Amino acid sequence: MSRKQQMPRPKSDLGDDDTGCPILHVDMDAFYAGVELRERPELVGSPVIIGAPGARGVVLSATYEARRFGVHSAMPMTRARRLCPQAVIIPPSRGKYAEVSRGVMEIFHTFTPEVEPIASDEAFLDVGGARKRLGPSAAIAAMIRERVAREQGITCSVGVANSKFVAKLASQHCKPDGLLVVPVDKVVDFLHPLPVGALWGVGERTEQSLVRLGVRTVGDLAAIPLATLQHQLGQAAGAHLAALAWGRDERPVTPHVPDKSIGAEETFATDVDDPVKIRRELLRLSERVAARLREGGHVGRTVSVKLRRADFSTISRSRTLREPTDVAQVLYATACDLYAAAGLEKVRLRLVGVRVESLRPAGETPRQLGLGERESGWREAEQAMDRAARRFGRDAVLPASLVRPPFGEIDP
């Protein structure tokens, strides 16, 4: 069980005075599982795990009934099955999750433009301006929860506080399907009983260093002189944790944070050393990344591949293109070149990935054709594929090499 799951649940007597608490952290409850259970109401209340069922699969999400057995996201599926053999395992439906995520974010924006998504299923909201027309922060949080449940058929938990840090902790502590207000004058009472691992920036190594100082709770940390913390952890880390221990977090909600990179990766069911199959997977990943670039209105200039050997050692190779792109065929050609340059064409691989960085808005820089160069037509073809995918599903139109024959794959 993770440190976050071990945190004591806060007392219900913190109060609901949300004066000076404009920050909301809204987090969907077991997001992927919640989306799947909308279509399987008979499984509500049962242990359910979302993830690829194969031996190499990992848990993407789990209902709270499964989490009671110690199952959590990113856990290998083989271990999850041992911990909870009675769980129902459902393969993921990624397109469905993206659609629900967009719907949830649209709900947030009807309350305030100050929305900072930090994942597909959670976001910070600053409702300071919205309170003048909609009422107190807690009332807005309740309205958001009601609309998410009514319009998307899933539940969410909301933390209300005077800072992002405390609001996020509050949402974690009222899960599932809860709402918790941490009044300004109760922040210290809320924080100090928590384990020190609750603080942002405290990983396992930092926690071990703090335990050697006798620090086990946030309150213990708050009692340590700043100079001692900085000597033990460094100037910046010591000052950061000392501020958090007293609930000081000045970071504002930052709307529309641009993506820094977009990528996709795949772990093979069994290790693969066939270059044809590797390139086929690079094409599949390039298609996926390019579709996400176009969906987000991005183009990118730096393409990288991630190649993990059977012994788990991983290498990455990257190349900066002459001009940014959102075309899968360009990404694929570059990824294949990088794969060949890595010298791993005869090496068994466990995982491959494709990523695009140096993103900018599409259309910001018009494409420059060289003398005598013609448009390839790939962009228009892929945009047509996007339209077909939105109407008929992601697999409605695929490159020929990705179409599986009806009786299995044919050796090329």
Distance CA 173, CA 356 (A): 36
**Residues contacting 232, CB < 8 A, separation 6+:** 209, 210, 213, 238
- Nearest CA to 36 out of 121, 122, 94 is that of 94
| Catalytic residue of the set 36, 65, 122, 281 | 122
Strands 314-325 vs 298-309: parallel, antiparallel or unpaired: antiparallel
Q: Does 122 qualify as catalytic in the annotation? A: yes
In the block, residue with structure tokens 């946030």: 218
Pairwise CA distance, residues 125 & 77, whole Å:
34
**From CA 303, how far away is CA 355, in angstroms rounded?**
6
- Please state, in angstroms and rounded to a whole number, the distance separating the CA atoms of residues 175 and 34: 13
Phi, psi for 407 (deg, rounded to 5): -110, 25
27 appears as a binding residue in the annotation: yes
Sheet holding 349-361, edge to edge: 261-272, 349-361, 298-309, 314-325
User: Any idea which residues carry the catalytic annotation?
Assistant: 122
Mark the binding-site residues for Mg(2+), compressed into ranges. 27, 121
Mark the binding-site residues, compressed into ranges. 27, 121
